[in-house]
Amino acid sequence: MRNELILQGIAASPGIAVGHAFLYEKEDFWIEERTIPAEKVEEEVDKFLEVIEEVRGELREARKRISKELGEEPAKIFDAHIAMVEDQAIIDETVDRIRREHKNAEFAFFRTLRKVVKALKASQDPYLRERMYDVLDIQRRVASRLMGEPSPSLAHLESEAIVIARNLTVSDTVHMHRQHVLGLVTELGGSTSHAAILARALGVPAVVGVQEATDLVEPGDLIVVDGYRGVVHLNPDQEALETYQKRRQSLIEQEARLSALKDLPAETMDGHRVSLEANIEFPEEVSLCLESGAEGIGLYRTEFLYLVHPHLPTEEEQFRTYWEVARKMAPRPVVIRTLDLGGDKLGLSAPPEANPFLGWRAIRVSLRHRDVFLAQLRAILRASRLGNVRIMFPMVTGVEEFLEAREMVEKAKAQLRQEGAEFDPDCPVGAMIEVPSAALTADRLAREADFFSIGTNDLVQYTIAVDRGNDRIAYLFDPFHPAVLRLIYETIEAGHGHGISVGLCGEMASDPLATPVLLGMGLDSFSMNPKAIPEVKEIVRQSNLGEARELVRKVLRMDRGRDVREFLSDVYKGYWSHIKKEVL
């Protein structure tokens, strides 16, 4: 028997699976550049258009099948794929390249999609980087057909197995043999990839981001996939297997307990109620939000709309997307964050920046390119007539910037009134507090904004001067750092002092250790990954606001983040012993 080994990755789909490894190896994909004789160019164009139509038909059939088997929401994953092969700008640019440069169709298509792939790959947002694999999936599907090469498939897997792969696309996942695939392990990808979303819909445990998995695993190895903790256990002994079986049963019981909380309010034992909301990026995620008991969308990221096409999205394209989310969530609130990208990602004139985090991005880009900003604001306002929609500006640094952006909202309203378009004239406009300057002047901003949402991911980075993507200093990234906790507390106090609500939409919102502290600080809403809502709700419902406030008084007097964590861990041992093993 081979040596036992434990690999760590990212939990992508819950569940625990035990089985033998199947290595799914796709050959490296190389697209050759060829020059087409002038007399063959139109024939090459016709071949390209014919393949695009074939792929479009296949995607529609796959969507129809998934809708029938799993429901409409998982099927909507295919909408983005279908949109790419129906995007006239992509088709026209590819055809133009074939005709103008006399290049083979697969290479011309590759060149057209390359700038989309590059923009997604360079994004600082992990959600957007995941979308790169969807574009590459379409690229490979179309190019394979043009080159006459068969695409690899998991459809013919002959026995039950744990699939190990470098990466799995939507095409791989949707065509896999459902009865034979017990679990999925990949080296690439994240929990927000469409393949991961489909795995969750199919109920298949999955762990992604497992470095060197295809090198370390041999075909036939006995493997445990722990989709809760993001662990892959190679060749476990009998004692470990029995432990996993007991834990699987315990987690099934826990899920049943948490699911019973879905329709109950997030209310403390002494009657204080907060709102638990979800962070999303795509309309298809709404169903998971509702299934998890989300009381609204606290952060709707809009960046993907600007990256999936070679052109900027039109107002109408944006409106349809925002409308779909607002309609499904109504009457629950939907907070739509305006564009949070660098100008270079939008094809706008922008020189290279040494530090994009501190550069030309987010509201700074929007205020410089007001035509782009205005189109987005008009689309959001038009969607507001169909639901409880709110507008939020990212990376606001102070009052002047916020007021300038708010003037653009008023301009969009004036245009829509003149055109006779319907919208909510009282649509709330808020500021994301993710820069220390905004937190330190929150009392001034609160006079102008209708609400605040604290973005702790960036607030921690900017406050402590630490790039959490830098492995050498990532250990310094600490939301419990006294400076961060003080800024959060003062922001909440400033907002409440002027009668506006304050939410939090960073990863800290889903950290069970942070829940009692944020409660005690008076946070009104917690916005997080939908999967985290049931656990946070359970903690809220077992909390007492008076005791939480006392926790805050003690925490704010501490000197080190380590002290805060140790203190809160002890609190868990006293109050939530039945779940402490999963959060500590």
pLDDT digits (tens, 9 = 90+) for 452-500: 999 998 999 999 988 766 657 767 889 999 999 999 999 999 999 999 9
CATH of the domain at 368: 3.20.20.60
What average pLDDT does the segment 348-362 reach? 60
Q: What percent of the chain has pLDDT over 90?
A: 53
Catalytic residues: 194, 505
Q: Extract the tokens encoding 51.
A: 């393949």
Phi-psi region of 362 (alpha: psi -120 to 50; beta: other; left: phi over 0): left
My answer on whether 356 and 481 are in the same domain is yes
pLDDT digits (tens, 9 = 90+) for 223-232: 999 998 899 9
For residues 173 and 24, the answer to whether their CB atoms sit within 8 Å is no
d(CA 197, CA 184): 12
Check pLDDT > 90 for residue 304. Answer: no
- How many residues are given for the chain? 584
| Separation of CA 269 from chain center | 32
Q: Residue 392 pairs with which residues in a beta bridge?
A: 337, 430
**Degrees to nearest 5, angle at CA 315 with 312 and 320:** 110
**Within-domain flag for 360:** yes
SS3 549: helix
Which has the minimum average pLDDT: 16-30, 325-339, 537-551? 16-30
Rounded Cα gap, residues 451 and 295, in angstroms: 17
581 occurs within a structural domain: no
Say whether 544 sits in a helix, a strand or coil: coil
Residues of the domain holding 322: 272-576
Q: Which residues contact 88 (CB under 8 A, 6 or more apart)?
A: none
Of 107, 127, 147, the one marking the end of a domain is: 147
**Residue 388, SS3?**
strand
Question: How large is the average pLDDT for residues 346-354?
Answer: 54
374 plus 452 within the same structural domain:
yes
> What is the predicted pLDDT for the residue at 77?
73
Q: What does the alpha-carbon distance between residue 439 and residue 360 come to, in Å, rounded to a whole number?
A: 20
Q: Which residue in 379, 376, 414, 415 sits closest to 394, CA to CA?
A: 376
In a domain, 127, yes or no: yes
By the 8 A CB rule, do 76 and 283 touch? Answer: yes
What is the mean pLDDT of the segment spanning 35-50? 93
Give pLDDT, residue 63.
86
User: What's the mean pLDDT in 257-274?
Assistant: 92
Residue 537 has pLDDT above 80, yes or no: yes
Domain boundary among 147, 182, 214: 147
137 shares its domain with 168: no
Contact 104, 34 (CB under 8 A): yes
Residues 250 and 396 in one domain: no
Best CA proximity match to 525, nearest among 332, 263, 331, 298: 298
Q: For residue 74, what are its two tokens? A: 């998982």
The pLDDT assigned to 582 comes to 45
333 and 427 both lie in a single domain:
yes
Residue in this structure with the two tokens 């993001």, named with its chain if needed: 230
Is 42 inside a domain boundary? Answer: yes
Tell whether 161 and 126 lie within a shared domain: no
Provide the CATH number for the domain around residue 99.
1.10.274.10
- Whether the predicted pLDDT of 579 surpasses 70: no
Q: Same structural domain for residues 475 and 343?
A: yes
Tell me the sheet residues that pair with 390. 335
Mean pLDDT value across residues 212-236: 91
| pLDDT, position 581 | 44
- Averaged pLDDT, 516-530: 95
* pTM for this model (two decimals): 0.72
| Residue 188 pLDDT | 83
Which position has the higher pLDDT, 69 or 168?
168
In a domain, 33, yes or no: no
Q: How many domains does the chain have?
A: 3
Residues 6 or more apart in contact with residue 16 via CB below 8 angstroms? 205, 224, 225, 226, 227, 228, 244, 247, 248, 251
Comparison of pLDDT for 183 and 584, the residue scoring more: 183
Residue 265 within a domain: no
The pLDDT tens digits of the residues spanning 287-296 come to: 889 989 999 9
Task: Look at residue 184 in the predicted model and tell me its pLDDT.
Answer: 93
Average pLDDT in the 556-581 region?
A: 78
Domain harbouring 245, CATH code: 3.50.30.10
565 in the same domain as 476 = yes
Please give the pLDDT value at position 519: 97
Backbone angles phi, psi at 33, to 5 degrees: -90, 120
116 & 189 share domain: no
Look-up: residue for tokens 């916005």? 527
By C-alpha distance, which of 244, 301, 560 is closest to 453?
301
For residues 343-357, average pLDDT: 53
Asked if residue 264 is part of any domain, the answer here is no
Residue with more model confidence, 365 or 29: 365
For the record, the structure tokens of 3 come out as 């040596």
Phi and psi dihedrals of 414, rounded to 5? Answer: -60, -40
Parallel, antiparallel, or unpaired: how do β-strands 161-165 and 181-186 relate? parallel
- The mean pLDDT of 250-262, rounded to a whole number, is 84
pLDDT at position 344 is 46
Q: What are the two backbone dihedrals, phi and then psi, of residue 139, each rounded to the nearest 5 degrees?
A: -60, -45
Residue 43 has pLDDT above 90, yes or no: yes
Mapped onto helix, strand or coil, the DSSP state of residue 24 is strand
* Residue 359 pLDDT level (bands cut at 50, 70, 90): low
Residues 432, 525 within the same domain: yes
DSSP strand pairing (275-280 vs 297-300): parallel
Report DSSP state, residue 471: T
Domain boundary among 195, 222, 255: 255
At residue 301, φ and ψ (nearest 5 deg) are -75, 135
Looking at the domain assignment, is residue 29 inside a domain? no
- pLDDT, tens digit, 9 for 90 and up, residues 119-158: 777 776 666 677 787 888 888 889 888 988 766 677 777 7
Which residue matches tokens 């990466």? 167
Residues 463 and 375 in one domain: yes
pLDDT of res. 256: 82
Closest CA to 515 of 481, 491, 486, 551: 551
- The strands making up 16-24's β-sheet, listed across from edge to edge, are 5-8, 231-234, 222-226, 16-24, 161-165, 181-186, 206-208, 10-13
Cα 439 to Cα 537: distance, rounded to the nearest angstrom? 27
Same domain, 92 and 185: no
Residue closest to 584 by CA, chosen among 554, 543, 539? 539
Residue 580 has pLDDT above 60, yes or no: no
Q: For residue 171, what pLDDT is reported?
A: 73
